[in-house]
Amino acid sequence: CETAEDVQAALVAVGTGPVALHVVTEEPSPVRGALVGLALAIGDGRASYVPFTGDRAAALVAWLEDPANHKIGHDIKIANVALQRRGIQLAGVVGDSAAASHLAQPSNWAPHDLSLVAKHVLGRALPAEDAVRGVGRQRKAWADVGVDRVGEYAGQLADTAAAVWRGLAPTLDARLHAEYLELSDTLVRMELRGIGVDDEELTRAEAAFAPMEVELERAITALAGKSFNLNSSKQLGAVLFEDLKLPVVSHTKTGWSTATEVLERIEDAHPIVRLVIRWRTLRRLRDSWITALRACIDDDGRVHACFHPSRSFSGRIVNSNPDLGRVPGRTPEMARIRRAFVAAPGHQLMSVDYNQLGLHVLAHLTKDPALVAPLRDHADVHTQTAAAVLERPLDAIGPAERQIGKVVNFATFAGQGASALALQLGMPPAAAKELIARFDRKYSQVREFQDEQLRLARERGYIVTIGGRHWPIGGLESLDPHDRSYAERLGRRATHEGSVSDVSRRGLLDADRALRRAGLAASPLVQILDEVLFEVPDQEVADAARIASEAMRNAFVLEAPLRVGVEVGPNWADLEPWTPPA
């Protein structure tokens, strides 16, 4: 479309829809990249492209904001974010082909990129963005590609999204799809709001880490008896396994493995191992977090991550650019990174976190009284499991034993066998097999439930989550033993994993609904597994804590009622438990 009149003609041609939108932005993240243009299509092989310059963009605004004009898209959230940054309130969204893909085939079509879904649904190959723009130093800005080529590319994607939607829409559960769209609106607000990051705190952390690294390098050199390059896996391996004769746990194609997870299994073999692990942790915090996080801070002093509701198998919301789900926090050094995530002036950060969500969901699904009863009584199930599998009284279970119980619980939920559990616990497979047998005796209905889910997956081809989502399990009849074994493990655990995701997604959505309904300014910023982090004006903390925690507790009614913990503080590291005022 070269003129405003051309835009109007294109809008007349597509009618009231549903019309697929595809936005073109300079960067992959719509919250950071400038909006270049917008393609429109209805899936008949034709498309119109509108560059966002001059009066052509203005001619689109009324149509985009009119709810009577029905719009669709592939991950429509991207278009919504890009348009809202230009002050345009997208209305009339009735469909999302990425959500439809995830509802149809959550694992078989993952990660639900349009190019992948188009192959499955339409048998259509799409051009890669790199093929249009180039890569590396040869990569062009969209403005340098040429409007005709950009329009052709964007038009293909919009037309394909419309065709995918047309192919999948008839099979959709309308209620589930509507929930996806509403969740998408919540995620749009989260992306646009972002979370504050204190660059000065990052600088202080960097300054604190530098002398620690130097001291660790000195100590490692002293224990090794010589200087060597800690960044060299070959030199480190020679020191550990030749000079110090430490046990070799794993090999790579080129020699010993010195991966951190391998070293953690021999950290008690010699003091040098723990020092190497700690040195690597500090290096990773500096390179992967301090340096990388700085690059993500926008002009408003906030980091705006992208949230993906349809990318994971289970339905967990994942995020990227940066991946806030990986923000570390287990050690004091790691806490320095979390301390850099701060509330705006006059606000507090508020964390609402489900307590043992996976266990509550499993108890509900299995109806196992050995799980339901202690959860209703607010007992610690990990301690109970440790006592059962280690065959010790409850009062003999300390933190180390409880950790074993926790590992056994999660390994069993995930359908892991004795070999995998043995690797995690650093014990012989025979000993791990015995732990699993004791778990099965303690929680007999858990194994029965998992076996029944696998039987149902074979019989009907899918499992059903607590929220009503159908999850097809492919590969159960595969002739490849590795593929078949993976499919069987997935069939055993998918109902539980998908149901946990249903609860966490609904909890976020219900909390956001409730806060907005109450007229509060409190807003969710990020969801990490079972935790939702909110930013709350100081004067709203009591109301927001009560409303959000109640909404998340009541997301689903389970055999053992859901429980949440609330913490409040000025930053993500220094949160303190919040209790309702007397």
pLDDT at 581: 78
pLDDT at 331: 81
> What is the mean predicted confidence (pLDDT) over 232-257?
89
Q: Collect all residues with Cβ–Cβ distance below 8 Å to 304 and sequence separation of at least 6.
A: 29, 31, 32, 191, 192, 193, 194, 296, 298
**Domain limit, last residue, from 169, 192, 215:** 192
Number of Cβ within a 10 Å radius of residue 39: 24
pLDDT at 255: 81
The model's confidence at residue 12, banded by pLDDT at 50, 70 and 90, is: confident
Say how many residues make up the chain: 582
Same domain, 202 and 188: no
How far is residue 540 CA from its own chain's centroid? 28
> What is the mean predicted confidence (pLDDT) over 56-64?
86
Same domain, 362 and 384: yes
Same domain, 187 and 202: no
For residue 97, CA distances in Å to 21, 171, 246, 520 come to 11, 12, 54, 32
Query: What is the C-alpha separation between 538 and 544, in angstroms, rounded?
Result: 10
Same domain, 41 and 167: yes
Please provide the average confidence, as pLDDT, over all residues in the chain.
93
> Is residue 172, in this structure, part of any structural domain at all?
yes
The model's confidence at residue 2, banded by pLDDT at 50, 70 and 90, is: low
**Domain limit, last residue, from 172, 192, 212:** 192
Name the residue range of residue 252's domain.
Answer: 197-303
Q: How many helices (H) does the chain have, and how many strands (E)? A: 24, 19
pLDDT at 362: 96
DSSP run (H or E) holding 195 = strand 195-197
The DSSP secondary structure of 77-118, one letter per residue, reads: HHHHHHHHHTT-----EEEEHHHHHHHH-TTTTTT--HHHHH
CATH number at residue 383: 1.10.150.20
Per-residue pLDDT of 41-56, as tens digits, reads: 999 999 999 998 877 7
Same domain, 85 and 181: yes
Q: Six-digit token pair at 455?
A: 């039987």
> Is residue 424, in this structure, part of any structural domain at all?
yes
Number of domains present in the structure of the chain = 3
> Is residue 516, in this structure, part of any structural domain at all?
no
The DSSP secondary structure of 280-312, one letter per residue, reads: HHHHHIIIIIIIHHHHHB-TTSEE--EEETTSS
Which single residue is written with the structure tokens 């409730």?
514
> Is residue 567, in this structure, part of any structural domain at all?
no
State what percent of residues in the chain have pLDDT above 70.
Answer: 100
Same domain, 125 and 108: yes
Same domain, 385 and 399: yes
Per the CB < 8 A criterion, the answer to whether 109 and 117 are in contact is yes
Same domain, 81 and 160: yes
Query: What is the C-alpha separation between 23 and 151, in angstroms, rounded?
Result: 10
The model's confidence at residue 536, banded by pLDDT at 50, 70 and 90, is: very high
pLDDT at 415: 78
Q: Collect all residues with Cβ–Cβ distance below 8 Å to 354 and sequence separation of at least 6.
A: 360, 503, 504, 507, 530, 531, 552, 562, 563, 564
Per the CB < 8 A criterion, the answer to whether 190 and 144 are in contact is no
Per-residue pLDDT of 297-325, as tens digits, reads: 999 999 999 999 999 999 999 999 999 98
**Domain limit, last residue, from 303, 327, 346:** 303
The model's confidence at residue 413, banded by pLDDT at 50, 70 and 90, is: confident
pLDDT at 231: 92
> Is residue 148, in this structure, part of any structural domain at all?
yes
Per the CB < 8 A criterion, the answer to whether 261 and 268 are in contact is no
Q: Collect all residues with Cβ–Cβ distance below 8 Å to 270 and sequence separation of at least 6.
A: 223, 240, 244, 246
Same domain, 136 and 12: yes
> Is residue 547, in this structure, part of any structural domain at all?
no
Task: Tell me the HSE value of 153 on the side-chain side, using a 13 A CA sphere.
Answer: 20
Among 145, 169, 165, smallest CA distance to 22 is for: 165
> What is the mean predicted confidence (pLDDT) over 121-139?
93
CATH number at residue 19: 3.30.420.10
> Is residue 500, in this structure, part of any structural domain at all?
no
The answer on pLDDT for 371 being more than 90 is yes
The answer on pLDDT for 9 being more than 90 is no
Same domain, 402 and 364: yes
> What is the mean predicted confidence (pLDDT) over 327-339?
86
> What is the mean predicted confidence (pLDDT) over 483-494?
94
> Is residue 579, in this structure, part of any structural domain at all?
no
The model's confidence at residue 534, banded by pLDDT at 50, 70 and 90, is: very high
Same domain, 218 and 143: no
> What is the mean predicted confidence (pLDDT) over 117-133?
94
Query: What is the C-alpha separation between 18 and 247, in angstroms, rounded?
Result: 63
> What is the mean predicted confidence (pLDDT) over 521-549?
97
Same domain, 217 and 147: no
The model's confidence at residue 10, banded by pLDDT at 50, 70 and 90, is: confident
CATH number at residue 238: 1.20.1060.10
